[in-house]
Structure formats: C-alpha cells, structure tokens
C-alpha cells in the first residue's frame, strides 16, 4: 500500500491498468505498464501548489494556463494557451481550457468558492504528457493529461467530469485532507466523483433524471465493451470487457471489498457512497447541485469530519446538514436518509 498522505491522485483505477498490462496486446501492455510506472513516480513526489498572482487574478474568474509536454515527461511544459487567449485548434489544449473553466465556474457560481483553495489559485494543466499515457492526474499543483493509447482509451481531456474529479481532489486536500486509504480513501474518491458529475450536469443544465451518471463516458473507444469507467447509478455495470475485465464496484455494504490493493480499494468501494448520492438526487425533482450537492459540500467541509472518516461518519454529517438546511422532517432529509439506508451504510 502506498503512502496515504501523498496528495497526488490519478483518475484511472490501478486495477484497470493492471488488467490491461496482463491481458492486452503487446502494445497495450507496454502502454499500461508505462502509465503505472509514471503514476508511481507522481505519487512519490507531488508538487507545491501555485500561488495566486495578484497582477492577473480576478475574483469570480478563472486563471487558466495550459501547457504542452509535447509527449515528453516534463512539467509544466511549454505554455500554449493562457487565460483569455482564443482557441488553439488543438483539441486537447482547448478541452483542458474549457473544462478547467467549467469546473471553476461551478464552484464559484454554486458555492462562491474562488478556485481550488478558495483564494484564486491558478488552474494549470499540461496536455500531451508522455506517449500513450492512459491517465489524468492531479499532483497537488496542477493537472496532467495523457492522450490515451487510442485503442482502449481516448485523450483524457475529453471528459469534463474527469477534469472536475481531479480538481476536486485538490478541494478535498485543502478542506479536510481525507487520507487516501480504506473507507476514507473511498470516500475521497466518491466525493471527487460526486462533484465531477455535478460539474458535468451543471454545465449541461441536466436534471438528475436526465443525466447519465457516468464517470469517464467519453474515454472509452468503440473497441471497449462498456459505457464508462464508473456508473454512479449502477456501480458494477460500467464495463464488461475481455481486456479491461468487469467493473468490480459494489453498490451495497454487504458487497464491500476487503483488499490491500489500491490503498484498500479506494476506486472500488467508492461505488457505495456514489450510489447513495445518486439515490438522494433522483428522489428530488430539483437539479442535484441545488439541494443534494450543497448538503454533500457542507458535510465535506464540516470540521467534525475526521481525516480517517468512514462512510457512516460522513452519512451522519450529511443527515445533520440536510436537517440544518431543510428541517428535521423535510423531504430533503428523508431522501438523504433513505439513500444511505438503501446502500446499507445506515441501518
């Protein structure tokens, strides 16, 4: 198990890459192994966060800086699009710029949060990292995007929820510092999924009923038998593929996976709180960012949330904040309570 205090977090579950490294073609095995090695390097190092530049920062507006590693393993690389500059014509550059901005706007317009640190932190991204790199990464300082291998995975800038997921790891790191292991780590991953999918829904103006609740839907090529890397609506059903294997996420505590791999299954058991959020959101008619999202956000930022919190501790805080925001007998609190009960976290 790697150090749970390391802040660097990658989107791609290690068990997926390990499966490709074992079952893929010669080329795919090489791509997966190189990605795993690069991910290990990031986890061992991390990076200091960039500070707000008073000369350029404007409260309520993002400060984006997109670089290209030009298929090398250097960071941040060459600056290719700065804040306010027109589109570059490079899809990876322009997608990174757009979705970093969409994530900033979501946090600002919904929660009045000024960037990841709430102090106007610049949003730095590097695209075209290495060759055939099958991941996107938050390293404590910036986003890093691979182009994918082109056979199983497309470029990692194509999915807005992936970018928002990784930036949310930065929010979690600063607000509560949940350790990246066991139930606390799975909760960390789940919160990143929750706010990742909320950014996607907010940008598209989708209701909970109309949304697909998929994480990484734009990443998979047509060669993969699957919809995405994860489904918040139906954990365990996102993919079933000869190379990738079958989605291992449980949707109920009775199927909780005890493992030493992946820091105690942080990318696997996150399916349980993910489904709880989905259930609470669809039980209500309002957009998820208007009612359930603020409840989860308040619970995530609550000083009572321990760095080692388990699912039950977080569930209790969501119930507390649903009651504070909407009342003890409210439909909103009842929806949150029933959601946690349905996934077996609350009895």
| Residue recorded with tokens 């198990």 | 1
The catalytically annotated residue of 267, 321, 326, 332 is 267
Token look-up 């904040």 returns: 321
Distance between CA atoms of 128 and 156, rounded to whole angstroms?
10
Closest CA to 288 of 221, 213, 338, 219: 213
Q: What is the DSSP letter of 226?
A: B
> How long a stretch of residues is the chain?
347
Strands 123-127 and 64-68 turn out to be parallel
State yes or no: is 166 an active-site residue. Answer: yes
Longest CA–CA span in the chain (Å) reads 59
Choosing from 166, 173, 189, 332, the catalytic residue is 166
Going across the sheet that includes 78-82, the strands are 9-10, 136-138, 143-145, 123-127, 64-68, 78-82
Please give the positions annotated as active site. 166, 267
């Amino acid at each position: 198990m790697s150090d749970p205090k390391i802040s660097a977090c990658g989107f791609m579950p290690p068990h997926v890459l390990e499966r490709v490294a074992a079952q893929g073609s010669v080329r795919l095995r090489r791509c997966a192994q190189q990605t795993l090695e690069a991910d290990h390097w990031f986890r061992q190092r991390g990076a200091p966060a960039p500070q707000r530049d008073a000369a350029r920062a404007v409260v309520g507006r993002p400060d984006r800086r997109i670089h290209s590693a030009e298929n090398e393993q250097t960071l941040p690389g060459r600056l290719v699009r700065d804040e306010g500059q027109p589109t570059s014509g490079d899809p990876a550059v322009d997608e990174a710029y757009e979705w970093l901005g969409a994530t900033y706007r979501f946090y600002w317009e919904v929660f009045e949060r000024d960037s990841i640190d709430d102090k106007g932190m610049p949003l730095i991204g590097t695209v075209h990292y290495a060759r055939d790199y099958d991941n996107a990464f938050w390293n404590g300082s910036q986003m890093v995007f691979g182009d994918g291998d082109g056979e199983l995975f497309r470029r990692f800038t194509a999915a807005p929820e992936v970018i928002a997921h990784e930036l949310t790891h930065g929010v979690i790191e600063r607000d509560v510092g949940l350790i990246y292991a066991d139930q606390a780590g799975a909760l960390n991953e789940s919160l990143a999924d929750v706010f990742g999918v909320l950014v996607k829904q907010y940008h598209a103006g989708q209701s909970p009923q109309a949304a697909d609740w998929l994480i990484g839907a734009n990443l998979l090529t047509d060669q993969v038998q699957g919809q995405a890397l994860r489904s918040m609506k139906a954990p365990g059903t996102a993919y079933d593929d000869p190379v990738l294997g079958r989605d291992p996420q449980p949707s109920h505590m009775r199927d909780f996976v005890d493992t030493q791999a992946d820091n105690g299954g942080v990318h696997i058991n996150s399916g349980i709180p993910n489904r709880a959020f989905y259930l609470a959101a669809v039980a209500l008619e309002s957009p998820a960012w208007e009612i359930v999202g603020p409840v989860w956000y308040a619970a995530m930022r609550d000083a009572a949330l321990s760095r080692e919190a388990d699912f039950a501790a977080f569930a209790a805080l969501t119930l507390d904040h649903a009651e504070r925001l909407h009342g003890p007998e409210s439909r909103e609190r009842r929806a949150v309570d029933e959601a946690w009960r349905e996934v077996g976290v609350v009895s």
